[in-house]
Amino acid sequence: MPILQVKNIQKSFGAVNVLKGIDFSLEQGKVLSIIGSSGSGKTTLLRCLTSLETADTGCVEIDGKVVFDSESTVKLTRQEKRENQLKMGLVFQSFNLFPQYNVLDNVMLAQQLAAKDRLDYKAKKQEILAEIEEHSRQIIDSVGLSDKLQNYPCELSGGQQQRVAIARALALNPKILCFDEPTSALDPELTHEVLAVIKELATRNMTMIIVTHEMTFAKEVSDQVIFMDDGVICEQGTPEQVFDSPQNQRLQEFLGSFQK
Amino acid sequence: MELTNGMVMGASLSDTLANMWNAIANSSFFEVTLRLFEGLFTTVELFVLTLLFSLPLGLIICFGSRCKFTPLRYVVKTIVWIVRGSPLMLQILVVYYGPGLLFGWDLLPRFTAALVTFVINYACYFSEIYRGGIQSIPRGQYEAGQVLGMTKWQVFSKVVLLQLIKRIVPPMGNEFITLVKDTALVRVISVYEIIWMGESFIKKGMMWPLFYTAVFYLVFNGLLTLALGYFEKKLDYFKS
In SS3 terms, A158-180 reads as HHHHHHHHHHHHHCCCCCEEEEE
Please write the tens of the pLDDT for every residue from B138-182.
999 999 999 999 999 999 999 999 999 999 999 999 999 999 999
Least confident piece of the model among A85-99, B6-20, B37-51 = B6-20
pLDDT of res. A73:
81
* Position A163 pLDDT exceeds 60: yes
Are B224 and B172 spatial neighbours (Cβ–Cβ below 8 Å)? Answer: no
ipTM above 0.95, yes or no: no
- Asked if residues B191 and B111 have their Cβ atoms less than 8 Å apart, the reply is yes
Contacts of B148 in chain A (CB under 8 A): 109-110, 168-169, 172
User: Which residues of B fall within a CB distance of 8 Å from A209?
Assistant: none
What is the rounded average pLDDT of the residues A112-121? 86
Q: How far apart are CA A109 and CA A91, in angstroms?
A: 16
What pLDDT does B141 receive? Answer: 95
Which of B137, B141, B148 has the most A C-beta neighbours within 10 Å, making it the best mutation to test the interface with A? B148
Are residues A226 and A198 in contact, defined by beta-carbon separation less than 8 angstroms?
no
Residue-level pLDDT at B2: 47
pLDDT score of B7 more than 70? no
Q: Report the pLDDT value the prediction gives residue A186, as an integer from 0 to 100.
A: 86
The CATH superfamily assigned to B39-234 is MetI-like (1.10.3720.10)
pLDDT at residue number A207: 94
B72 in helix, strand or coil? helix
Torsional class of A76: left (φ above 0), alpha (ψ -120 to 50), beta (otherwise)? beta
**In percent, how much of chain A has pLDDT > 90?**
58
Nearest CA in chain A to B139: A96
What is the average pLDDT value for chain A, to the nearest integer? 90
**Which residues on B lie below 8 Å from A168 (Cβ)?**
148
Cα separation, B5 vs A29, whole angstroms:
102
| B35 — pLDDT class (breaks 50, 70, 90) | confident
Q: What pLDDT, in 10s, does the model give residues A2-27?
A: 899 999 999 999 989 999 999 999 99
Question: Residues B24-47: what's their mean pLDDT?
Answer: 83
Answer whether A110 sits within 8 Å of B159, measured CB to CB. Answer: no
**Chain B, window 140-159: residues with a beta carbon less than 8 angstroms from a chain A beta carbon:** 140-141, 143-151, 154, 158-159
Instruction: Give pLDDT tens digits for B100-112.
Output: 899 988 888 999 9
Q: Out of B143, B150, B238, name the one closest to residue A99 (CB).
A: B238
On chain A, the residues whose CB falls within 8 A of the CB of B150 are 110, 113
Nearest CA in chain B to A86: B149
- Ordered strands of the A4-13 beta sheet: A16-26, A4-13, A57-62, A65-69
CB A196 within 8 A of CB A190: no
Read off the pLDDT of each residue in A120-135 and give the average, rounded to a whole number.
89
pLDDT tens, position by position, A21-56: 999 999 999 999 999 988 899 999 999 999 999 999
Categorize the per-residue pLDDT at B11 as very low, low, confident or very high, splitting at 50, 70 and 90.
low
B140: nearest CB among A92, A100, A168: A92
pLDDT (mean) for A137-162: 92
* Per-residue pLDDT tens over the stretch A174-219: 999 999 999 888 888 888 888 989 989 999 999 999 999 988 889 8
B156 vs chain A: nearest CA distance in angstroms?
12
What is the model's pLDDT at position A167? 94
pLDDT at position B14 is: 84
Which pLDDT value is given to residue A119?
Answer: 84
The predicted pLDDT at position A136 comes to 94
Taking phi first (over 0 means left), then psi (-120 to 50 degrees means alpha), and beta for anything else, what does residue B205 get?
Answer: left
Question: What is the C-alpha separation between A233 and A23, in angstroms, rounded?
Answer: 8
CA distance A83 to A2: 19
Q: Chain-wide mean pLDDT for chain B?
A: 89
Q: By a Cβ cutoff of 8 Å, what residues of chain A touch chain B?
A: 50-52, 78, 82, 85-86, 88-90, 92, 94, 96-100, 109-110, 113-114, 152-154, 168-169, 172
Provide, rounded to the nearest whole percent, the portion of chain B with pLDDT above 90: 63
Q: Name the closest residue on chain A to residue B165, using Cα atoms.
A: A100
pLDDT band at B183 (very low <50, low <70, confident <90, very high): very high
Q: Which is nearest to A171 in space by CA: A229, A214, A131?
A: A131
User: Which pLDDT value is given to residue B1?
Assistant: 44
Q: Which residues contact B12 (CB under 8 A, 6 or more apart)?
A: none
Q: How many of the other CB atoms lie within 10 Å of CB of A36?
A: 24
At residue B17, the pLDDT reads 83
B112 touches chain A (CB under 8 A): no
Taking the Cβ of residue B240 and every Cβ of chain A, the question of whether any pair is shorter than 8 Å is answered with yes
As beta bridge partners, residue A179 has A91, A210
pLDDT (mean) for A69-82: 84
- In this prediction, residue A60 carries a pLDDT of 92
Please name the residue of chain B whose CA is at the shortest distance from the CA of residue A110: B148
Q: Say if residue B68's pLDDT is above 60.
A: yes
B95 pLDDT higher than 80: yes
Nearest to A52 among B138, B147, B151 (CB): B147
List of chain A residues whose C-beta atoms are within 8 Å of the C-beta of residue B156: none
